[in-house]
Amino acid sequence: MVGRKVAKAQLLGDVYETARGSIRLPVPPDAPAVRMFRLVIGEARGLIRQRDAIDAMAETLLSDSVDYKLLLRIPGIGPINALTILAEASGLLRFSHHRQFLKFCGLDLATQQSGTFRGQTKLSKYGNARLRRTLWLAGQVAIRQRENSFRDTRLSLVVGSHLCGAYS
């Protein structure tokens, strides 16, 4: 069963026989659960193909963009995230300071106040939700990478300077 040219029917048959003998579930190969599993796998493969097509399109359209190249250097940001950031922000040159960009994204801090009451300081979330979600997802990917600048606490606030500070 080694190699790329193994017949899928034979591979599935071997997996079925192994599972049947090890976990003792008498499930026929044409059972509804097996058909559903194949349907889910087919949908996942379709989504992967769509993602690859969007990656290729972003690379083709933005390969000469300086902003795109700078965004790809940030850990966690790939072609789709870079394309989303550029589309939602309408160009990064319009922000003269990284704090303006953070406010535009809704990633700035806000405190609820009334009279003498001072509430918790939280993200304002008044900015662009799609951009905020994209940056949050990129941060989640960056945190999980073994080697990157986000693991160092001294460099954890470098996102804004990567995006806007490179232009000054």
Count of structural domains within the chain: 1
Considering the domain boundaries, does residue 137 fall inside one?
Answer: yes
Digit-by-digit pLDDT tens for the chain (168 residues) are 455 556 777 777 887 777 766 665 567 778 888 888 889 999 999 999 999 999 999 989 888 888 888 888 888 888 998 988 888 888 777 888 888 888 888 887 777 777 787 777 777 778 888 898 988 888 888 888 777 666 654 444 544 555 554 444
Considering the domain boundaries, does residue 86 fall inside one?
Answer: yes
Domain that holds residue 101: 64-168
Considering the domain boundaries, does residue 157 fall inside one?
Answer: yes
Considering the domain boundaries, does residue 135 fall inside one?
Answer: yes
Considering the domain boundaries, does residue 116 fall inside one?
Answer: yes
Please name the residue ranges forming H helices in 122-158: 129-144
List, as one string, the DSSP characters of 105-138. HT-SEEEEEETTEEEEEEE---S-HHHHHHHHHH
Residue 88 tokens read as 């939602």
Considering the domain boundaries, does residue 139 fall inside one?
Answer: yes
Considering the domain boundaries, does residue 118 fall inside one?
Answer: yes
> Is the pTM for the entire model greater than 0.85?
no
Considering the domain boundaries, does residue 106 fall inside one?
Answer: yes
